[in-house]
């Protein structure tokens, strides 16, 4: 094989591995940890902590493409006790990033 063909094959394999790595990485949700007690005797939903999530699209270690979104943790109170929680992320609070070596943001 010619050197150019070997280079192209290796390049394509690296591209595929970058998309595969991004697909396999779990999108974490990070939140502040302030206490949010439920008012006694109430049945309601209330916003609590500020949160963010990161979704990777391509990840090679050299060049990384991902999206970060900020939002809120919503707690569901029943009779003054926290029963459940959910996360709300607004699409308008999302930002795409192109990152070099996990350090330099190219946006």
Question: Residue 93 sits in which domain range?
Answer: 3-105
The proportion of the chain whose per-residue pLDDT surpasses 90, expressed as a percent, equals: 23
> What gap in Å lies between CA 43 and CA 61, rounded to an integer?
47
As beta bridge partners, residue 86 has 74
Mean pLDDT of the chain: 86
Domain count for the chain, please give it.
Answer: 1
> What gap in Å lies between CA 71 and CA 61, rounded to an integer?
27
pLDDT of residue 107: 65
Q: Are strands 43-59 and 29-31 parallel, antiparallel or unpaired?
A: antiparallel
Flag whether the pTM goes above 0.75: no
The proportion of the chain whose per-residue pLDDT surpasses 70, expressed as a percent, equals: 95
């Amino acid at each position: 094989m010619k050197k150019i063909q070997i280079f192209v094959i290796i390049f394509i394999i690296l591209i595929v591995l970058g998309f595969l790595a991004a697909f396999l990485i779990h999108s974490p949700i990070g939140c502040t940890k302030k206490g949010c007690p439920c008012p006694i005797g109430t049945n309601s939903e209330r916003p609590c902590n500020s949160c963010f999530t990161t979704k990777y699209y391509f990840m090679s270690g050299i060049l990384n493409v991902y999206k970060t979104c900020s939002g809120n943790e919503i707690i569901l109170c029943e009779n003054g006790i926290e029963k459940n929680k959910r996360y709300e992320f607004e699409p308008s609070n999302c930002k795409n990033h192109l990152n070099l070596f996990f350090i330099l943001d190219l946006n």
